[in-house]
């Protein structure tokens, strides 16, 4: 079944043709690949650091831009066409889109870790097209209906909330635990909010930008911390230990927080994060920065820390994220600072790249 479309319907798309080279292209309306697919008319798309990174550097790790790709992966939209076997959504339904569909056949997929599938088709990760088009085709079980009272911007923000849900899942956060989150960018503040929603007794946000700390205070964090700058000539590791000690003292964290979520990727934060975690506690690396850092490994060893990585999301994260937003526990609308029309997509990317302090989450409206 298909919603009526104009015979001359096309698929305007925002394409990354090569490093730093973006353009609008009219592509063909995508077809359903099998009876489980749906076609979504994209309504809103948020911009993520990874989108900007591919635009500016053309690669993240082993994912290298070798041919043009449509950008964008944090989207919401309306279902306009469904395959014959689709049961979970109907034409006309408003959905949040999970942008990475795994192969379903490999050992990772079969063991419940589909975020690790080598053959995942992930929107806007080369060589796969993203969601900054009028239409996007995706497997129906990777679309999640959003209730009527959630708007499409909130629907698009479900993606970073799902990232935060996965991070707390990896951390195995339990009620009444104490949590320190390094980074008060979108992921950091969402981790703080999810941790509170999931029963953490104390959530402390850390950042070097005061305005971000101010926002975090008003969002999910119980307390915030601006670490002192290192004095000249001080060994960075010593400084990290100082920061950790200050954190513990200032916020009465005793031997340290149960859980540390590292959402910056910055080496000084990684080091401070390891030093501050209590013995037997859990440290989760979510932020991405330098690929190789100086890591306090002996501390990790003798304090018997659980150190884990977190990437994207797994089963249950999207439904949990929709519920956190729909129930009002997390007000994602407050993260949006700038809005652009589809035709202004390049300006939106330039704004995110400029990295101004007052720019937080930028969203791009879909093609009307």
The smaller minimum CB distance to another protein, of residues 141 and 344, is found at: 141
- Taking the complex as a whole, the smallest distance from the CB of residue 105 to another protein amounts, in Å, to 5
**Binding residue (CB under 8 A) for another protein from 89, 274, 314, 367:** 314
Query: Nearest Cα to 202, choosing from 259, 255, 287, 164?
Result: 259
Q: How many residues bind another protein (CB under 8 A)?
A: 16
| Residues with Cβ within 8 Å of residue 261, at least 6 apart in sequence | 167, 168, 171, 179, 180, 181, 182, 188, 191, 195, 284, 286
Q: How far is the CB of 110 from another protein (least distance, A)?
A: 4
Restricting to residues 268-297, which ones interact with another protein according to CB under 8 A?
none
**Residue from 66, 210, 315, 327 binding another protein (CB under 8 A):** 315
Cα–Cα distance for residue pair 74/48, rounded to 1 Å? 8
Please list the residues that pair with 189 across neighbouring strands: none
Residue 36 CB, shortest distance to another protein, in Å, is 7
**95 phi/psi in degrees, rounded to 5:** -135, 155
Judged by CB under 8 A, the residue of 141, 223, 267, 323 near another protein is 141
Residues in 35-94 that interact with another protein by CB under 8 A: 36
Residue 142 in contact with residue 97, Cβ under 8 Å? yes
First CA to last CA distance, the chain: 21
139 near another protein (CB under 8 A): yes
Shortest distance (Å) from residue 31 CB to another protein: 18
Looking at 57, 210, 316, 341, which residue binds another protein (CB under 8 A)? 316
Least distance to another protein, CB of residue 117, Å: 11
Residues 88-117 that bind another protein (CB under 8 A): 104-107, 109-114
Instruction: Tell me the sheet residues that pair with 244.
Output: none
Residue 172 lies near another protein (rule: CB under 8 A): no
Q: What CA–CA distance (Å, rounded) separates 331 from 220?
A: 10
**Smallest distance, another protein to C-beta of residue 111, A:** 4
Nearer to another protein, 11 or 115 (CB): 115
What's the CA gap between 169 and 293, in Å, rounded?
Answer: 25
The 3-state secondary structure of 37-48, one letter per residue: EEEEEEEEEECC
> Rule CB under 8 A: which residues touch another protein?
36, 104-107, 109-114, 139, 141, 314-316
């Amino acid at each position: 079944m298909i919603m009526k479309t104009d015979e001359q319907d096309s698929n305007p798309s925002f394409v990354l043709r090569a490093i730093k080279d973006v353009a609008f292209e009219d592509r063909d309306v995508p077809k359903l690949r099998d009876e489980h697919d749906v076609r979504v008319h994209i309504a809103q798309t948020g911009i993520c650091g990874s989108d900007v990174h591919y635009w500016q550097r053309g690669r993240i790790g082993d994912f290298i831009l070798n041919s043009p790709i449509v950008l964008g992966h944090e989207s919401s939209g309306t279902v306009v066409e469904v395959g014959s076997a689709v049961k979970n959504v109907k034409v006309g339904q408003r959905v949040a889109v999970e942008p990475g569909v795994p192969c379903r056949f490999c050992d990772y997929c079969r063991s419940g870790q589909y975020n690790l599938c080598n053959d995942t088709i992930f929107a806007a990760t080369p060589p796969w097209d993203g969601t900054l088009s009028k239409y996007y085709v995706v497997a129906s079980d990777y679309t999640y209906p959003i209730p009527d009272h959630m708007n499409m911007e909130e629907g698009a923000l479900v993606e970073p909330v799902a990232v935060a849900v996965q991070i707390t899942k990896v951390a195995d956060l339990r009620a009444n635990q104490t949590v320190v989150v390094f980074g008060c960018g979108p992921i950091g503040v969402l981790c703080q909010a999810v941790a509170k929603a999931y029963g953490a007794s104390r959530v402390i946000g850390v950042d070097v930008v005061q305005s971000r700390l101010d926002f975090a205070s008003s969002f999910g964090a119980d307390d915030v911390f601006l670490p002192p700058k290192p004095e000249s000539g001080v060994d960075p590791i010593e400084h990290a230990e100082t920061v950790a000690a200050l954190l513990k003292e200032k916020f009465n964290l005793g031997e340290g927080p149960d859980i540390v979520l590292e959402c910056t990727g910055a080496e000084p934060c990684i080091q401070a994060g390891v030093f501050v975690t209590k013995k037997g506690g859990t440290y989760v690396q979510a932020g991405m920065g330098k690929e190789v850092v100086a890591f306090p490994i002996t501390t990790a060893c003798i304090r018997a820390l659980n150190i884990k990585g977190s990437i994207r999301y797994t089963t249950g994260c999207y439904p949990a994220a929709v519920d956190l937003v729909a129930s009002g526990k997390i007000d994602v609308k407050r993260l949006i600072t700038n809005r652009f029309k589809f035709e202004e997509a390049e300006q939106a990317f330039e704004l995110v790249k400029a990295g101004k302090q007052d720019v937080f989450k930028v969203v791009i409206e879909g093609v009307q």
